[in-house]
Structure 1
Amino acid sequence: MPLRVLSALDNARIQYYHFKATVIAGMGLFTDAYDFFCIPPITRLLGHIYYNDDPPTRVSSTLITVVLLGAAIGQLVFGVLGDLKGRRRVYGLSLTIMVLSSVVCGFSICGVTGCVLGSLVFFRFLLGLGIGGDYPLSATIMAEFANRNTRGAFIAGVFSMQGIGILAASGVTAVVCSSFDKYSKKSKDYMTTDVDIAWRLILMIGGVPAALTFYLRMMMPETARFTALVERNPVQAAVDMGRVLDVPMNEIAEDAPIPAHPPTYPLFSKQFLHRHGRDLFYCAASWFLVDVAFYANNLVLSTVFFYYVDKPTNVYHLALKVASLQAIVAAAATIPGYWFTYYFIDRIGRVKIQMFGFLMMALVYFAMGIPYKDYWFKQVQNSKKSRVGFSILYGLTFFFANFGPNTTTFIVPAEMFPARFRSTCHGISGAIGKVGAIVGTIGFQWASSTNANSDYPHPHKMTVAFVIWGVVCLLGALVTYFFARETKGLSLEDNEIDE
């Protein structure tokens, strides 16, 4: 017989607090996207200062990879802590690390290239720890607050804050670069020191929105599911839920005490693997595969599409062009993908959306990759030719990633596991995903290497890369087909059966 407080949560009507929790929990995802998408234009600014306006691809790749490495570690550590100490108790810590790291990135020390970039890499690793820690906690908290019929939509809403983060990164970059460009024209002086201030300012601003939600995050109560099922205190769970949800206490208070014998089998025991091993493999493998393609694809924009625009007159214009292209892709493809998932996920289910997304991504990658050397590459080189076709295909990779596995892989691990393993298993799945992101980023660095006598990426390597990403997405569809199970409309407590 399920506890009354948990049954009340499963059947509660949508309330103001659900939307408030979505924004609070989504700030970590906002910061993640902001700090990822501000790097391509920042790399251009760093290139002006340290590389004579020609930053090597390894600089951007390193600044992104080190965050991904930190995020993988953060997901593991904070995932475990979320199940041991409670979601709320460590939630503020991950946000604190994110905010402080964003700020100190702007204070990367020294005036020597290696020293500045070395300290920036270190601070971005710390930033990754905070971002990674926020993933399992945000997903778990939103899943445990939501009702069974709209749970997928609200977790997708948390994840969709990434889209807002992308637009914010592009908007802040545009404002900062435009302001410094106007200042340099007014003063008739184009100073490298001004460019140095600009990239630091862009990074530091990224921590402000997350800092503004710190108090609200600290005021969130512990989730009723953790309090009732892990701490075995349904009375406190009812009190906590009464503070934030419009549910009468007489509907959620227990008539009898909870049984005093909690389940005992540990993580990765034979019992755990028998009951949950298949689900953990599915969550981790699908997340790994989508991130291989998705993170590499993000880097294509500043390498291939950079040649779609007229040559900028200075480094501010260059950074502004990259940021503008990112904003266009986000508004036209990325954000619509998130919101399609938000609308459909509790109607058609997680498995169908993930299968469809993987298959469509594979088709689009093949359509980009197979004719890339002989057709698309020529369009990139010839500014007079129409590039609408390639632009549409590139946008569709983002649409079907977000109306597909990039979003569902964040949602499903928060639904498949018992309360006492939920945050940990989400962290494990996400950490494996970030390993895939690192693989994709390193692979892109190889694919984007230029010809000896050309500024353009090697067309043969880009062809191979697009085709490989298509094959990876097909593997993701196969993993989903053979290992996935649907969680639409089910109570989270269904995973507690026979515990």
Structure 2
Amino acid sequence: MADFKLYLICGVGFMLDSYDLFIVNLASPIWAYEFFTASSLAKTTKVPPPTIPFLVRGCVNAAANIGNVVGQIMFGFLGDAFGRKFVYGKELIIAIIGIIFIISLPVNGSKGLTTGVQKMWWLFGFRLLLGIGIGGDYPMSAAIVAERSTLKNRGRMLGWIFSNQGWGTLLASVVTCILLPIFKKSLVGGHFTKIDGIWRTQIGLALIPCFALLYFRFTMPEGKKFLQSTELSGVYKANMSDIDIEKEKTFTGVNGQPITDRRASIIEAHAAQPPQKNHQMTAFVDYFSHPKHALTLFGCAFSWFLVDVAFYGVNLNQSVILADIGYATGATPYEYLLHNAEGNLIIAVAGYVPGYFLTIAFIEILGRKWIQIQGFLVTALMFGILAGAPNLPSGGRFACIVIAQLFFNFGPNATTFIVPGEVFPSRVRGLAHGFCAAVGKLGAILSGIGFNWWSQKDHAKYKGSIGLSGVLWIFFAMELLGAIVTIFCVPETKGIDSDAIDYEECQARIGASHPHLQDSHAEKNFSH
């Protein structure tokens, strides 16, 4: 029951996150029809929709991810410095404010917004704010779930939480398929000023789970494991002078050898105290000054960057890709938008969502590292086929996209979220996970802004463009490099207790600097 409640509180947040992040893929063609079609030409407008200026569309696509970077670093730090309880829920308030302002876009030239470009910049600004709130959910939910799960089910639990991204994407497609027939008359008749109800409803529906979650996030208690781990930062500075230690049991270390978890058992007076923020940056810098930990941070962050370049490049622009392979077609704007939504729905059902459940099923059997490597390699193969065989029938190209989506999620898109939540100890987990996620989102921003320009076929008009095949070759290289980085820089975290390892390392360092302290504490604490 406790696991199910945790799943709802943290998991529904990720469903919302994914819904908000990917709805832009389905809303963009609607914005193009509404904002960039002259009313005098509305009934004769071309299909597909008018082109949104590439820089503007790229910025709107990337806006939430830019906000993510800020939110992930900021809330990761605040969560470690002030505690999960103090921070959790505040990121949701920021997301709610962002959504309200997005759907409140003034109409008919009011508030000085007379052009499509001006309206798109309004959307950019408040999608940026929305992204800050969404970004804060990554480190907070990962840390909270990891600190409340057992070693045997931690990876599966993190997988369950993250799998809600799939449901969010699926829900976005379903909602769009339901809304479009309601506005069919306006779309077929070319009355595009009347279709803003589609995208306002698409985005506004996300407010329902937001408000439903607020109470539960605000009332979630602080985790005992976090309190113990953050106390270790202060204790380490004080040379273990005011803490009692108790023997517990043996866990597996990063090298596969058994270690003894002599976990700090904080006395009640200490457990009741909030973590001291003045220790936080010192603890973070001290922990990652060790070359082994720095390499792990690099591996987790860079592999997340590499997968997000391709993952968000595809998902934020899936409508463009479907149109290029000849799937999103139609004689009218209504048919075009409906086929586009149906294509996204099929990809979500056939590849996107099943990939998450394969990860959940096999993560405690195969391990995180193997799943991440094979996911990188299979997606690289799919992008190589798409890039190298441009004359492949549309059915074959569509199948490649579905398989790529399957192995994104039965692969690095899931594991790059899971591993940082497990490999770093609780006292630095929030900021470390937020840092890795933020580096990943830099890859998403790169794709979000650059994809529409780079994928153009008219090289003379669009300087530096390389066509869709060229972009897919870049994705191929990124995925291949991701597999290499994973092999050499990302540890296996199956069965690993990072807090136990952290305690052992602190003991060893204190012992090396002050042997008499280590000996006296060992005698004091383990003689019983």
TM-score range with shorter-chain normalisation? Answer: 0.7 to 0.9
Cα 1:230/1:102, change in 2 over 3 Å: same
Structure 1 gaps, min length 5 = 1-15, 234-251, 380-386
The answer to whether the Cα contact below 8 Å between 1:72 and 1:430 also exists between their aligned partners in 2 is yes
The 5 A counterparts of 1:113-152 are: 113-152=116-155
Equivalent residue letter for 1:18: D
How many aligned positions are there? 449
1:144-196 residue CA offsets vs partner (Å, 9 max, x unmatched): 111101100110111110111011111221222221225x49xx975333212
Structure 1 residue 403 corresponds to structure 2 residue 410: yes
Tell me the distance in 2 between the aligned counterparts of 1:461 and 1:255.
Answer: 59
Identity %: 35
The change in CA–CA distance for 1:259 and 1:118 in structure 2 (over 3 A counts) is closer
The answer for the alignment partner of 1:448 in structure 2 is: 455
Structure 1 segments of 4+ aligned residues over 6 angstroms from their partners: 252-264
CA distance in 1, matches of 2:267, 2:101: 52
1:23-82 CA distance string (max 9 Å, x none): 211233212221232212211111112222313344442212111111011100000001
The reply on whether 1:25 has 2:28 as its aligned counterpart is no
Write out per-residue CA displacement over residues 381-413 of structure 1, whole angstroms, 9 at most, x where no aligned residue: xxxxxx222111111111111111110000011
Q: 1:109 to 1:19 in 2, by over 3 A?
A: same
Distance 1:434 1:253 in 2: 35
Give CA deviations for 1:349-400 in whole Å, capped at 9, x if unaligned: 111111111111111211111122xx23xx4xxxxxxx22211111111111
Contact 1:416 1:495 in 2 (8 A): no
Structure with max Cα Rg: 2
Following superposition of structure 1 onto structure 2, how do residues 28-67 of structure 1 map, counting pairs within 5 Å?
A: 28-52=13-37, 53-56=49-52, 57-67=54-64
CA 1:189–1:353 in structure 2 vs 1: closer, same or farther (change >3 Å)? closer
CA offsets per residue over residues 312-334 of structure 1, 9 Å max, x none?
35434433222211111011001
Cα distance in 1 for partners of 2:18, 2:55 equals: 20
Counting only pairs closer than 5 Å after superposition, residues 384-395 of structure 1 correspond to structure 2 as 387-395=394-402
Cα distance change, pair 305–496 in 1 and its aligned pair in 2 (3 A) = same
Counterpart position of 1:89: 86
AA paired with 2:489? F
Normalised TM-score (structure 1): 0.83
Matches within 5 A, 1:176-187: 176-181=179-184, 184=186
Question: What corresponds to 2:381 in structure 1?
Answer: 363
Contact 2:455 2:471 in 1 (8 A): no
Native 8 Å contact 2:376 2:411 kept in 1:
yes
Residue number in structure 1 paired with 2:283:
266
Q: Which runs of 5+ in 2 are unaligned?
A: 38-48, 235-262, 507-528
Select 1:276's aligned residue among 293, 315, 323: 293
The 3-state SS of whatever aligns with 2:20 is helix
Contact in 1 for aligned 2:328/2:343 (Cα 8 Å): no
Cα distance in 1 for partners of 2:460, 2:489 equals 48
Partner of 2:254: none
Amino acid at match of 1:200: R
Moved more, 345-354 or 273-282: 273-282
Q: 1:332 aligns with which of 350, 357, 361?
A: 350
Following superposition, the deviation at residue 120 of structure 1 comes to 1.2
- The 2-side partners of 1:313 and 1:470 are apart by 34
- Tell me the alpha carbon deviations over residues 471-490 of structure 1, each in whole angstroms, 9 at most, x when there is no partner: 11111111111112111012
Q: Work out the CA distance in 2 between the residues paired with 1:389 and 1:189.
A: 34
Distance 1:255 1:414 in 2: 23
Residue matched to 1:345 = 363
Q: For residues 95-126 of structure 1, give each alpha carbon's deviation from its aligned partner in whole angstroms, at most 9, with x where no partner exists.
A: 11112211221012352223322211111000
Shift of 1:257: 7.0
